[in-house]
């Protein structure tokens, strides 16, 4: 089988091995593929592995040998799955690989907001401590999390992972999710209606999928229901937030700070209003990217293709 990987660099910039795929067929790997090269590079390949390179109906039509598309991610909106189904092409994704990493990163954003560790370290390196008349100093208010409430919108595996770390820091959890599992409730973790969560949370962390019902869930109306000085975290999907509304709330002080690993259009556009917002941390969509997490993703992607070749495809998104 001919296998082509069209945009392998973000998954494997050189610290992992493609050996698993090499054992399954004749492999060609491209770090990145521009739109005008997609059809040419797929050529006669039967298995196409992608991360964010789009595979359209036109591509399926132009490349009739395609039998399988493997997505090196959980989201698969870059593939025209209806066209794939019509052509008899199996599309598989990676449903769970970065639970621990993404939960950890959400808390890392929160801790940076609470302590500004990077900026205080930079102040020391530029001599501010050596020249200070007191034995210590801080340039920003420092926040203790114990006893505060974290509201988690989307209480699946990643939301639960984030909650466990927050509870270890002494926080109480309010969870909002369409599907409730009473076994997850405890003295420090309760399900709540969305309005209750918005009103009572000191920190709100987003861990829900992007559906029509969740798109723009952080908007000016919902922000108005929140506590003054709330902290908002998002390392789920950028369009969950109306970015101008969050910018206005940050600049007015209604929202004390935000920690974001995702934005509505990625890479971020120069006119994104959040780039001019006060008290915001924005990182370049890297919650998923620890080596351990990427290795797990690689292993599952190889299993997906191997299962397809064995006639028992798994993680199929276009059944």
List, by residue number, the catalytic residues: 237, 266, 285
Q: What is the DSSP letter of 189?
A: E
Q: Contact 260/230 with Cβ under 8 angstroms?
A: no
Contact 155, 177 (CB under 8 A): yes
Do 21 and 306 meet the contact criterion of CB atoms below 8 Å apart? no
How buried is residue 63: exposed, middle or buried, by Cβ count under 10 Å (0-12/13-18/19+)?
buried
d(CA 74, CA 23): 24
Q: What is the DSSP letter of 4?
A: E
Torsion of CA 76, 304, 162, 118, to 10 degrees: -80
> Tokens for 311?
């006639």
Q: Residue-wise over 163-194: b if at least 16 C-beta within 10 A, else e?
A: bebbbebebbbbbbbeeeeeebeeeebebbee
**What's the rounded Cα separation, in Å, for the pair 257 and 231?**
5
Question: Which helix (DSSP H) or strand (DSSP E) does residue 233 occupy?
Answer: strand 230-234
Helix (H, G, I), strand (E, B) or coil at 205: strand
Q: Which residues contact 4 (CB under 8 A, 6 or more apart)?
A: 27, 28, 29, 30, 41, 42, 43, 45, 47, 48, 49
User: Residue 5 corresponds to which tokens in the numbers above?
Assistant: 């990987």
């Amino acid at each position: 089988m001919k296998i082509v990987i069209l945009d392998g660099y973000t998954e494997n910039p050189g610290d992992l091995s493609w050996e698993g795929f090499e054992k399954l067929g004749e492999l060609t790997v491209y770090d990145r593929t521009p739109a005008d090269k997609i059809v040419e590079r797929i050529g006669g390949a039967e298995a196409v592995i992608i991360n964010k390179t789009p595979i359209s109906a036109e591509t399926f039509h132009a490349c009739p040998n395609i039998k399988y598309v493997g997505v090196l991610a959980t989201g698969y909106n870059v593939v025209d799955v209806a066209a794939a189904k019509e052509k008899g092409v199996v599309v598989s994704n990676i449903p769970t690989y970065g639970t621990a990493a993404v939960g950890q990163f959400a808390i890392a954003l929160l801790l940076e907001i609470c302590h500004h560790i990077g900026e205080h370290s930079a102040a020391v390196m530029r001599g501010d401590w050596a020249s200070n008349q007191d034995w210590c100093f801080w340039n920003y208010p420092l926040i203790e999390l114990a006893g505060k409430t974290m509201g988690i919108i989307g209480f699946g595996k990643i939301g639960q992972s984030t909650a466990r770390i927050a509870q270890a820091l002494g926080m109480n959890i309010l969870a909002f999710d369409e599907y409730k599992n009473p076994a997850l409730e405890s003295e420090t973790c309760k399900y709540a209606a969305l309005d209750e969560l918005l009103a009572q949370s000191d920190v709100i962390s987003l861990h829900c999928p992007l559906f029509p019902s969740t798109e723009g869930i952080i908007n000016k109306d919902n922000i108005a229901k929140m506590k003054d000085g709330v902290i908002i975290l998002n390392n789920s999907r950028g369009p969950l937030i109306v970015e101008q509304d969050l910018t206005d709330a940050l600049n007015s002080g209604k929202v004390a700070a935000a920690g974001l690993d995702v934005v509505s259009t990625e890479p971020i556009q120069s006119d994104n209003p959040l780039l001019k917002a006060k008290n915001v941390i924005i990182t370049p969509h890297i919650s998923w990217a620890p080596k351990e997490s990427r290795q797990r993703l690689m292993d599952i992607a190889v299993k997906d293709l191997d299962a397809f070749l064995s006639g028992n495809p798994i993680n199929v998104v276009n059944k």
